[in-house]
Structure 1
């Protein structure tokens, strides 16, 4: 007899079947992308369903992807841009979140309301004013143009504030009694304690900006400054949109760093999202 506190075997089988079906549907485009990157051109549009290639062309496709355009350069640009944005976002978000979570000041509720309001405004709505501002500053077609608009992250401030609200006030008072300044308190006490939330935010930030195609397309014209998604567009132009094997191989290479980054940090990511999600 089944325990009243445990679901029945039928329900457990059905639940896992539903989850597996959803997983397969979600992963199928990525599986097809990987499959296409292994096939020669004459097999890609063959009739019928062939997940594995009949004739392997992995070496040719991946070699072409790495040599046809400077793909490694695009990957390096993506790392520089994502790392620059993340570092600056952390420098802004941690002190701001601490102030909103633990310090009382006049106009605090209004300021916090403005932060939350900015979460509701899509980036595309502010893209043209930002573009004009960068044009007058002479920063278009530079790496700075890819980084500066994202220095302040309302989502980062919100996520860190949620975590800091759960930090005991006694810990902060003890640090102040030890003679720590507010600056030291944020970086020497709160930042190590907030590492799970910080890693969770890092994954959100890196994934968003690594995959961003809209903003680099607006501000970058030089091929050498392209980020990975924009570099894919240059690759498609080079190949006239017909050589899909190397194109998919390049896409696999671009996707791989994100996958490895998430797998390395998934435990802290889940922990950080859980801890920040239960705060009032």
Structure 2
């Protein structure tokens, strides 16, 4: 569905990429020295970054499990990142073997690994689309090949929107994607914030911008705006690891101070 040969993709190793940095934080090996270098700079400012990465991943597991338990059978995961087990489709299909999942990311290295590793159950479907969140029409067109957009879909945007500024239309992008999904669909999202570490966050933002990575840390109220018009699932907007912790295992270190990020799941009326 990506329309590309995953063995022929060209990977730019001259500058860091968020997906590969995330992989490094998670202890993966699918990253390059430039990603590790920037990752270590972030660690010097905020030693809990690897914990934050794992907390985001754990939120995705819990939210996906909860949604599948509610009867959701279709998932559109944008900003997939390099596959790290268990992946979203594995969590969903453990509950519902017939679940259908479309992954989407803009990094060629993610495409190469997704093509090799993301395997569905026989009853369900798992496909990968290489596209950028800034091109929602391409994402919707690709998703239609696998998902029935007349039936509820869970739109997953984990640790993604803080890379899209308001000037670049972050809210409009979410609105455009949701506009193609029917009533009963869900939005699941996590987002980094500077609410708890304002000074360090400014320094980190400047370093990332210097490396060509745009970052838009949002306050709780600013993050909550993404869910305007939707019905928030209890407990609403919450510190990431405090959202339904009973649905998964705690991440070591998550309680060592406040994790500077929010998470929420909301239903489209």
Give the TM-score category using the shorter length.
under 0.3
Q: TM-score w.r.t. structure 1 length?
A: 0.25
Q: Could you say which structure has the higher helix fraction?
A: 1
Q: Could you say which structure has the higher strand fraction?
A: 2
The structure whose RCO (Cα within 8 Å, separation 6+) is larger is 1
Q: TM-score w.r.t. structure 2 length?
A: 0.26
